[in-house]
Structure 1
Amino acid sequence: MNKICLTGLALLVSLGVHAQKTYIHAGRLIDVKAKKVLTEQTILVEGDKIISVSSGYSSPAEGDQIVDLKNSTVMPGLMDMHVHIESQTSPTRYVDGFRDNEADVAFKALPYAQITLMSGFTTVRDMGGSGVNIALRNAINNGLVVGPRIYTAGKSIAPTGGHADPTNGVKRELMGDPGPDQGVINGPYDARKAVRQAVKYGSDVIKVTATGGVLSVARDGSAPQFQQDELEAVVETARDFGIHVAAHAHGDEGMKRAVKAGIHSIEHGTLMTEETMDMMVKSGTWLVPTVTAGMSAAEYAKIPGYYPPVVRDKAMQIGAQIQQTFAKAYKKGVKIAFGTDAGVFPHGENYREFVYMTEVGMPNLEAIQSATLNAAILMGIEDKLGTLEAGKIADIIAVNGNPDQDILAMKEVIFVMKDGKVFKQ
């Protein structure tokens, strides 16, 4: 068998047959590591890998293909570290939870996944849903549907009555007493079981709601929700599995407890104090700012009836503060990875985060770096993704214009390649 295969391979070589390669001619290419723009570059792709990146426009061999992006700006596929791929904002969102079955959620999620990829985001971290997010990740990985590469938290972990308790806001006979299997914990033993259950179900990352939230039907949006031993149990158990823990947090005390427990990233960080920022710099904790979510929620809260009154009041109070907190954290030196909370606003508008980040002082190329190299480092996959280098997975996008000069160029993505396959051209 081996002799026959080798003979066949020798015959193909003798006939000049070779695996097709793709030559991408990039007029401008963003080197996200050096934070500079290169001109007239050729990216050579074979299979799902980048073979080389070289100066000048290389000529392909017969049978190879050219992608002409000489009038465009090329960069690595973007990464959003905080999305909710199963859902999207709507004034009927809270009622839909009582109407939609898992199949309904799954079919609604398909266009959200597709528009996310077509917007240039080839990798996302899904930060909590019903479990459909895990099935969607698997379907995309198996080539059954179109969407970004998903790393998902599955179901978020919360205490009874906490931000991710799925029974908040319903009448008592429907509340029941959800436990670790549904991501609801009380005490360190529950915490360990919930993490193990999440890993068993297929979660790639653990998310805890370290404080109250804005959009949950619960009174407080900022108070701490876990005791220190509970958070430490979550982090220790996740560490045993070799996975990260992300902490949703708006209030400062909950952030302090999460950072002390060894959390990997703080999501949102709205009411973060400078003391907490200093703690994060010292411990190397990441901030995923989700400015777009805060700004969007504050705007939706002005629409009569869009949110329940308890949610509306929190959105008005907390939402608009998030941009200035991000600005302070960035200037303090807190590590920043791009994340939007897409789903709180329409999927496909993720680019708005670039605008909000640069409005308060982050340079354009640094904002793009936060959505490429930094995001890959946060997830521990910088050896595979995040830059355009030989040996990396061929996730490549292009936009018209010069985003280093006008960040709004990030809105119109004209080319998307993921795993070496072209999805948009």
Structure 2
Amino acid sequence: MKRIGLALALVTPLMFSAHTAFAEQTNTIVVKAARMLNVNDGKWVFPAVVVIRNDKIVAAGSNVAVPSGAKVIDLGNKSLLPGLIDMHTHLTADPENAGYSVVALSMPRVALIGAKNARLTVEAGFTAVRDVGAEGYTDIALRDAIDAGDVVGPRMLASGPALGITGGHCDDTMHAPEYKISGTGVADGVDAVMKKTREVIKYGASVIKFCATGGVLSFGDDPRTSQYTLDEMKTIVSEAHRLGRKVAAHAHGGDGIKNAVLAGVDSIEHGSYIDEEGAKLMKEHKTFLVPTLYLGDWLIANAEAIKLPLPLLEKAKVVLPDARKHIAKAIAAGVPIAFGTDSAVYPHGLNGREFAVLVKLGMTPADAIRTATVNASKLMGWEDKVGSIDKDKFADMIAVDGDPLKDVTELERVKWVMKGGKVVKAAQ
């Protein structure tokens, strides 16, 4: 009996060790492809071998050994890139129901629209997004459902309702006064914006969004004029930062951009009328600009189909072409750029069309790709999690057929998507 006991004592650790090794192997996936983009230097690695365990990358390169027993996904001649990141989305809205039509949607219905758009977005190759403005905290619900595995979609930072002044771009200006309808994020004055910032964080906001200027798709305001005062902006930013949230400011131009930068925001959204002084300030403060440019093509071409009110269309026809001229100068001046689309103004899933616009405005394809990878991950505060194919980062990757460094429109035709080690779009 003693001999048997001794034998069992010796065998059991070996069995446990073998079982552990087998479990690790069965949780290991290896992705192979003809090439892999190092987004930091803009060069291809030939061939590509990425070893994944559970949801993280454990090794990546050209001379990486394939562990015994690992599941191998061979993408053949495809090009492998990190999952893309869109820093300006509105997943719970569509062009036809984003406030232009007379149909009012319930918040549960809006959240379900978000579930549809989350799938479209991740299947388009965008494995992480920052969602910046949704009524009824529908974006918070969507983020939490994705995190729980109930819904297929990208990783999300979500703002809940965007803060804005009464009658401003982030208010509801499309209803008659007798309805007494105001946006959820409306707050006026220093005390009120402090309370509202705390309130949206209370209900789940992981980033704060506010409107520093007027906008295009709102009645009665001018995108070139500021809305919140500098003191109000400073209060929002200081309170958000104190509570561990970054801040995005919708700002098209005028003093709105400059005041938002001086208040300490982390990003300026749109920046349509950014001038030389604003560009200089953004460079000094290392504030990211998130231009949203492709929407100008789609919105004007489809204005009639989505019943865009004439006053808004007239603004769009002036502001959106002007934006490209000013953004081109900001790019040339070296303002840090992070990728954004404002999807919802045009259909979700077309996010990749933004890259070609950035290239037309002076970026190289490699620089444009960096805006949606390393730059975007830094703005999210997730540079240790996403943005490149590197050890210890999430296994968020995409594959395309061609070479996006030669033809950036390849990123409009993503053929395969993995998020967290799970394939969400099989190879086509």
TM-score by length of 2: 0.92
Give 2:18's match in structure 1, choosing from 3, 14, 31.
14
The counterpart of 1:28, out of the listed 35, 41, 50, is: 35
Q: Which residue of 2 aligns with 1:395?
A: 396
CA deviation after TM superposition for structure 1 residue 255, in Å: 0.6
1:205 alignment partner, one of 204, 207, 223: 207
Q: Which residue is 2:219 aligned to?
A: 217
- State the match for 1:3 in structure 2: none
Amino acid at match of 1:329: A
| TM-aligned CA deviation for residue 358 of structure 1 | 0.6
Higher mean alpha-carbon deviation, 19-28 vs 339-348, is at 19-28
Please tell me whether the aligned partners of residues 92 and 110 of structure 2 are also in contact (alpha carbons under 8 angstroms).
yes
**Matched AA of 1:112:** N
Aligned match for 2:292, one of 290, 293, 310: 290
**Residues 18-69 of structure 1, C-alpha deviations (whole Å, 9 max, x = no match):** 322111112111001111111102100000110001314644412x211112
Is 1:127 matched up with 2:124? no
Question: How far does residue 198 in structure 1 lie from its aligned partner after superposition?
Answer: 0.7
Q: CA deviation at 1:413?
A: 1.0
1:149 paired with 2:150, answer: no
Other structure's SS at 1:351 match? helix
CA contact 2:274–2:327 (8 Å) conserved in 1: no
Separation of aligned partners in 1, 2:350 and 2:105: 25
Task: Give me the whole-angstrom Cα distance separating, in 1, the residues matched to 2:290 and 2:76.
Answer: 33
Per the TM alignment, residue 242 of structure 1 is displaced from its structure 2 partner at its CA by: 1.4
Which residue does 1:101 correspond to in 2?
Answer: 106
Any idea what the Cα deviations from partners look like across 1:211-265, whole Å, max 9, x if unmatched?
Answer: 1111123342321101111111111111110111111111222111111111110
| Residue matched to 2:88 | 82
Match of 2:351 in 1: 350
**Aligned mates of 1:223, 1:171 — CA distance in 2:** 23
Query: Which one of the candidate residues 247, 270, 285 is aligned to 2:272?
Result: 270
Structure-1-length-normalised TM-score: 0.93
Unpaired segments ≥5 residues, structure 1? 1-5
Q: Does 1:113 align with 2:113?
A: no
Does 2:49 align with 1:42?
Answer: yes
Q: Is contact 2:267–2:289 with CA below 8 Å preserved after alignment? A: yes
- Please provide the CA RMSD for this pair: 2.0
Which amino acid in 2 is paired with 1:396? M
- Judged with a 3 Å threshold, the aligned counterparts in structure 2 of structure 1 residues 9 and 327 are, in CA distance, closer, same or farther, namely farther
After superposition, residues 156-195 of structure 1 pair within 5 angstroms as: 156-166=162-172, 168-175=173-180, 178=182, 182-195=184-197
User: Is the contact between residue 78 and residue 121 of structure 1 (CA under 8 Å) also seen in structure 2?
Assistant: yes
Q: Name 1:375's counterpart in structure 2.
A: 376
Partner secondary structure for residue 403 of structure 1: coil
CA deviation after TM superposition for structure 1 residue 274, in Å: 1.0
Report deviation, 1:401. 0.5
Is the alpha carbon distance of 1:8 and 1:276 closer, same or farther for their aligned partners in structure 2, counting shifts above 3 Å?
farther
State whether residues 37 and 43 of structure 2, in contact with CA within 8 Å, keep that contact through their aligned partners in structure 1: yes
Q: Distance in 1 between matches of 2:193 and 2:159?
A: 15
Q: Would the aligned equivalents of 1:218 and 1:310 in 2 still touch at CA under 8 Å?
A: no
Do the aligned partners of residues 204 and 91 (structure 1) sit closer, same or farther apart at CA in structure 2, a change above 3 Å counting?
closer
CA drift at 1:102: 1.1
AA matched with 1:23: V
TM-superposition CA deviations, 1:274-296 (whole Å, max 9, x none): 11101111111100011112333
Structure exhibiting the larger radius of gyration computed from Cα positions: 2
Distance 1:73 1:273 in 2: 38
Give the counterpart letter for 1:213 in structure 2: G
Distance 1:291 1:405 in 2: 21
Deviations, residues 333-353 of structure 1 (Å, cap 9, x unaligned): 100000011111110100111
Measured in 2, the distance between the counterparts of 1:288 and 1:295 equals 17
Q: 1:91 Cα deviation (Å)?
A: 7.3
Structure 2, gaps ≥5 residues long: 1-9
Instruction: Give the deviation of 1:380 after TM superposition.
Output: 1.2
Deviations 1:148-191 (A, max 9, x none): 1111111000000010113x121112125x48xx2111111111
Three-state SS of the structure 2 residue aligned to 1:336 is coil
Aligned residues: 414
**Paired residue secondary structure (1:53):** strand
Separation of aligned partners in 1, 2:13 and 2:251: 57
